[in-house]
Amino acid sequence: MTSTTLDASWNRPEEPAAPAGRLPRFLRSARRAFGALAMVGAVALAGAQHAKAADDTIKVGVLHSLSGTMAISETTLKDTVLMLIDEQNKKGGLLGKKLEAVVVDPASNWPLFAEKARELLTKDKVAAVFGCWTSVSRKSVLPVFEELNGILFYPVQYEGEESSKNIFYTGAAPNQQAIPAVDYLMENEGVQRWVLEGTDYVYPRTTNKILEAYLKSKGVKAEDISINYTPFGFSDWQTRVAEIKKFGSEGKKTAVVSTINGDANVPFYKELANQGIKATDIPVVAFSVGEEELAGIDTKPLVGHLAAWNYFESVDTPENAEFIKKWKEFIKNDKRVTNDPMEATYIGFNMWVKAVEKAGTTDPSKVIPDMIGVSVPNLSGGYSAMMPNHHITKPVLIGEIQDNGQFEIVSETPGLIVAQEWSPYLEGSRDLIADWRSPMSCGNFNVKTGKCGGAGAAN
C-alpha cells in the first residue's frame, strides 16, 4: 500500500511545483472559491438587511405636480405630507414601523399621473397615496388604483359625479362649496346675473353644469347666465374681461363664479383691475384661489373679492393655531401660509393612520372598509367623519380677500355638511347614491331600479 504525501511546497504529487512566491493551483482555486462564497454571503447579508429595513418601513406615495402650471398649488401639498409623515414618525411611526415618503413629480401632465401612480403601487409598493389636484389628473389615475387595489386620498374640491372604492375624497363636493357660494351671493349680494368662468377641463365643466341647473331651478333665466372656458395657463384676459364687464352693465347685479385653476388666476385678477372692475361692482367668488395662490402677488386688485372653502388660515381655533405653528417650524419659513387643501390632506392622513391602526395592517383590502366611520379633528374646531360614500363631512366658509393676502370669514354654516357625491340637479344622477358598506358596496346605486351601475355612473 502506498501513501500520497505533500511536499514542502504544498503541491499535489501530480502537479509540477509552483513558481517561487506563488500559491499552488489547487490552493489558488480554493481561494477563489472561498472568495466567491464570501461575496455571495455578503450579498445575501446585504439583501437580508435591506429586506429587514423594508419590513421596518411603510412607504407612502406623494403624487403632486412639482413643475408645470399646477405647481403653484400642488407643491405645498407635497410639503404637507412630508410634515405629517415627520410628525407621525416622531410619535413612533405606525404599527411599530417608520413611514417613508416616496415623492414623484407628474409635472402637470395628466397621462403621466397614471404612469407615476402605477410605479408607486407596483415598483415602490406604497401603502397609500396622497395626491392629485385637478379632476383630470384624478380621473387619469382612478382606473390604476381600482385595477391594483390601491388607496388614493384626494384633497381638493371637485365636481362630484363619482365615487370609487379606492378613492377617499377629502375635498369638497359641489354642495359643500359651489352651491353654498351661489346661495351666499343671492342672499347677501342680491346677484341676478351670473358669469360661470372656468378652465377648460372636467371640474369646471361639470361644476358649471350643476350650477346652471341649480340657478335655473331658482328662477334664473338662461340669458342671465354666461358660461366660458379658457385653457390651462391662459394669460390674455383683455377681451374676455371686457365681455364680462359688458355682461354686467345691463342693470342687474352680476357676479363671477370662478373655477379658473392654477396660475391663470394671477393675470385674470390683474385684468379685472386694469379695466376698473371692483369687487363692489362685479364680485368674484373663486373655488381654486386660496392663501397659497395669493402669496407673493399684489393682492390690492383682489381685495373684496370672495372665495368659498371649508378652511381658511384665519380660522380662530386652538387646533388651527397649533397646525400653523408646526407648519412654519417644519417649512422653516414664517411667510409660508396654510390653505384648504392642506387641511383636507391633514384630515385624510390622520384618518388613514387611524384606520390602519384599527385594521392592524396597511393591506388596502382591510384598511378600505375600516375607513368608513373614522372621525378625526378638523382645524375648525370640530370633527370630520368619513361617510359610506367615501366623502367627509365639512363646514362651508365664505371668505373675503384682504390686502394682506388673508381672508376675513364673512359666512359659515352652523354645522357640518354631508357631501352629495351625485348631484340632485342633474338628470341621470339624482337617483344615484354611493355606499361602500357591505352588502351594497356600490358607488352608483340607483334607488329607483335597485341596481348598482345607474345612468351616468363613473364606475
What is the average per-residue pLDDT within 174-202? 96
Answer yes or no: do 165 and 205 share one domain. Answer: no
Q: Please check whether residue 125 lies inside any domain of the structure.
A: yes
Q: Are residues 180 and 168 in the same domain?
A: no
Report how far residue 38's alpha carbon sits from residue 20's, in angstroms, rounded to the nearest whole number. 28
Question: How many residues can be counted in the chain?
Answer: 459
- The C-alpha cell that represents 249 in the structure block: 352693465
In whole angstroms, give the CA distance from residue 254 to residue 379.
Answer: 33
DSSP letter assigned to residue 25: H
What is the per-residue pLDDT for 255?
98
| Pair (72, 143) in one structural domain | yes
| Distance separating alpha carbons of residues 7 and 3, to the nearest angstrom | 13
Work out the pLDDT band at 165, boundaries 50, 70, 90.
Answer: very high
**Grid cell of 107 as nine digits:** 409635472
For every residue of 356-384, DSSP letters joined together read HHHHTS--HHHHHHHHTT-EEE-SSSSEE
Q: What is the mean pLDDT of the chain?
A: 89
Q: Which of 338, 285, 259, 318 is nearest to 79 (CA)?
A: 338
Provide the domain count of the chain.
Answer: 3
Query: Is 251 a domain residue?
Result: yes
Do residues 357 and 407 share a domain? no
267 assigned to some structural domain? yes
275 within some domain: yes
Q: What is the C-alpha separation between 319 and 338, in angstroms, rounded?
A: 13
Give one word for 258, left, alpha or beta, with left for phi > 0 and alpha for psi -120 to 50.
beta
Q: Does 19 map to a domain?
A: no
Residues 6+ apart with CB under 8 A from 108: 65, 67, 68, 69, 70, 71, 232, 262
**H or E element, residue 180:** helix 178-189
Which secondary-structure segment (H or E) carries 186?
helix 178-189
| Claim to verify: residue 407 and residue 280 sit in the same structural domain | yes
Q: How far apart are CA 440 and CA 435, in angstroms?
A: 6
Is the per-residue pLDDT at 38 higher than 50?
no
262 and 190 inside one domain: yes
> Which domain CATH number covers 213?
3.40.50.2300
Does residue 85 lie in a domain region? yes
Cβ neighbours of 244 (radius 10 Å)? 23
pLDDT of residue 299: 87
Question: Is residue 203 over pLDDT 60?
Answer: yes
Query: How deeply is 19 buried, as exposed, middle or buried, from its count of CB atoms within 10 A (0-12, 13-18, 19+)?
Result: exposed
pLDDT over 80 at 326, yes or no: yes
Q: Are residues 306 and 183 in the same domain?
A: yes
Q: What secondary structure letter does DSSP report for 347?
A: H
What's the domain range around 237? 176-315+398-412
Q: Which three cell numbers stand for residue 353?
A: 393612520
Would 45 be classed as within a structural domain?
A: no
Query: In this structure, are 70 and 213 located in the same domain?
Result: no
**Is 217 part of a structural domain of the chain?**
yes
Q: Indicate if the alpha-carbon torsion angle 285, 132, 108, 429 is positive or negative.
A: negative
The answer on pLDDT for 8 being more than 70 is: no
Looking at the structure, tell me whether residues 384 and 448 fall in a common domain: no
DSSP 8-state symbol, 18: P
Q: Report the pLDDT value the prediction gives residue 208, as an integer from 0 to 100.
A: 97
- Name 291's bridge partners: none
Residue 186 has what pLDDT?
97
Looking at the fold, whether 274 and 407 belong to one and the same domain comes out as yes
Q: Say what the pTM is.
A: 0.84
Q: For the chain, first and last CA: distance in Å? A: 87
Q: Residue 69 CB: number of other CB atoms within 10 A?
A: 20
Residue bearing cell 347685479: 253
- C-alpha distance from residue 12 to each of 15, 94, 233, 309 (Å): 5, 62, 81, 87
Secondary structure letter of residue 392 according to DSSP: B
Query: Going by C-beta distance under 8 Å and a sequence separation of 6 or more, which residues neighbour residue 322?
Result: none
Are 197 and 303 members of one domain? yes
Contact 407, 321 (CB under 8 A): no
Q: Quick one: which of 299, 237, 296, 246 has its CA closest to 272?
A: 237
Give residue 288's pLDDT band: very low, low, confident or very high (50, 70, 90): confident
Shared-domain flag, residues 125 and 270: no
Q: Measuring CA to CA, which residue among 121, 149, 140 is closest to residue 61?
A: 121
pLDDT of res. 48 = 42
Block residue for cell numbers 405653528:
325
Cα–Cα distance, 266 to 264 (Å, whole number): 6
Residue 401 has pLDDT above 50, yes or no: yes
Least confident of 23-37, 164-178, 199-213, 412-426: 23-37
